[in-house]
């Protein structure tokens, strides 16, 4: 007997399937990321019309069969369509980056509230963010997203020998070692960032207030791109390129 599951979830990605259906990746509050088949979703009079838009928050009901990887969606109601974000192409782009990150980095059905909660918090903050702060906000949440994937860079002291990092003009972050390194532990994957950028990353990690600076966030972006590429199977976030 299939089990009937009711939960809320964000639409991460949709792929057309057969003539009129969709396969949809949903980040749910109860079951983590799941895949559902939405039969007839692309028909004009489908009851699913408007519910499968990217980053919609929906309440969904699906039939879960243990033997299947893709479940069948039975019903969906939009809880939040984020209209106020959709009128701003930059904000749509920003939301796409986080959706793409979770779509590509989360394994299926790893229950846990954290990715869902993080994406929800991000979208709520994105609503109120001014144009020039969209990209920094995206980078801050991507950085926090790494924590959920268990890949947060280590920043406290040298990740290799645990020596304290002395204040200097620049700090070396090793992509392969997964954190900050002292001069004795430099390797050929180190990315150099300014002391201010390093301090900003520490503040983001500790959830402290930060000052926006274009230069700092350019360095954070460079580091994050290299870090995500290395640790998440050569992952390149296409949506981040357009932000
Ligand atoms: Zn060291």
Whole-number Å distance between alpha carbons of 197 and 220: 7
pLDDT confidence of residue 2 = 83
Q: Quick one: pLDDT band at residue 38, thresholds 50, 70, 90?
A: very high
Shared-domain flag, residues 132 and 227: yes
Ligand 1 centroid to residue 201 C-alpha, Å: 19
- C-alpha to C-alpha distance for 2 and 162, rounded to whole angstroms: 51
Residue 243 reports pLDDT greater than 90: no
Residues 66 and 88 in one domain: no
End-to-end Cα separation, the chain, in angstroms: 46
Residues 18 and 108 in one domain: no
Residues 124 and 149 in one domain: yes
Kindly list the distances between the CA atom of residue 112 and the CA atoms of 36, 78, 232, in Å, as whole numbers in the listed order. 19, 22, 20
CATH assignment of the domain containing 222: 1.20.1440.120
What is the pLDDT at residue 113?
72
Considering its fold, how many domains does the chain have in total?
A: 2
For residues 88 and 57, membership in a common domain is answered with: no
Alpha carbons 235 and 243: distance in angstroms, whole number: 17
pLDDT digit string (tens) for 66-117? 888 999 999 999 999 999 999 999 999 999 999 999 999 999 998 877 999 9
Give phi and psi for 130, each to the nearest 5.
-75, 160
Centroid of ligand 1 to alpha carbon of 183 (angstroms): 7
Q: What would you measure as the largest C-alpha separation in the chain, in angstroms?
A: 65
Ligand 1 centroid to Cα of residue 232, in Å, is: 24
In the chain, the DSSP E strands lie at 3-17, 21-28, 32-38, 57-64, 70-80, 170-174, 179-181, 190-194
Q: Quote the ligand 1 centre to 182 CA distance (angstroms).
A: 4
Query: Tens digits of per-residue pLDDT, 183-241?
Result: 999 999 999 999 999 999 999 999 999 989 999 999 999 999 999 999 999 999 988 98
Q: List the structure tokens of 12.
A: 């991460």
Quote the ligand 1 centre to 221 CA distance (angstroms): 24
Same domain, 106 and 220: yes
Tokens, residue 18 = 């057969």
Report pLDDT for 67. 84
Distance from residue 164's CA to the centre of ligand 1 (Å): 8
Task: Calculate mean pLDDT across residues 163-169.
Answer: 95
Residue 187 alpha carbon to ligand 1 centre in Å: 11
CA of 186 to the centre of ligand 1 (A): 8
Which structural domain, as residue segments, surrounds residue 58? 3-81
């Amino acid at each position: 007997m299939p089990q009937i599951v009711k939960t809320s979830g964000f639409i991460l990605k949709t792929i057309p399937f057969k003539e009129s259906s969709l396969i949809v990746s949903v980040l749910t509050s109860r079951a983590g990321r799941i895949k559902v088949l939405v039969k007839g979703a692309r028909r004009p009079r489908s009851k699913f019309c408007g519910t499968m838009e990217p980053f919609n928050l929906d309440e969904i009901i699906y039939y879960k069969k243990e033997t299947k990887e893709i479940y069948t969606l039975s019903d969906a109601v939009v809880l939040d369509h984020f209209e106020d974000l959709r009128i701003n192409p930059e904000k749509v782009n920003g939301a796409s980056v986080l959706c793409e990150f979770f779509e590509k980095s989360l394994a299926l059905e790893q229950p846990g509230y954290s990715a869902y909660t993080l994406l929800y918090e991000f979208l709520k903050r994105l609503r109120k963010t001014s144009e020039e702060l969209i990209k920094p906000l995206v980078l801050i949440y991507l950085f926090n997203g790494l924590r959920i994937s268990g890949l947060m860079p280590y920043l406290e002291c040298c990740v290799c020998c645990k020596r304290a990092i002395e204040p200097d003009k620049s700090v070396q972050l090793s992509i392969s070692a997964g954190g900050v390194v002292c001069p004795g532990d430099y390797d050929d994957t180190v990315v150099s960032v300014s002391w201010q950028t390093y301090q900003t990353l520490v503040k983001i990690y500790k959830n402290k207030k930060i000052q926006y600076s274009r230069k700092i966030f350019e360095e954070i972006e460079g580091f994050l791109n290299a870090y995500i590429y290395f640790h998440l199977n050569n992952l390149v976030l296409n949506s981040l390129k357009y932000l």
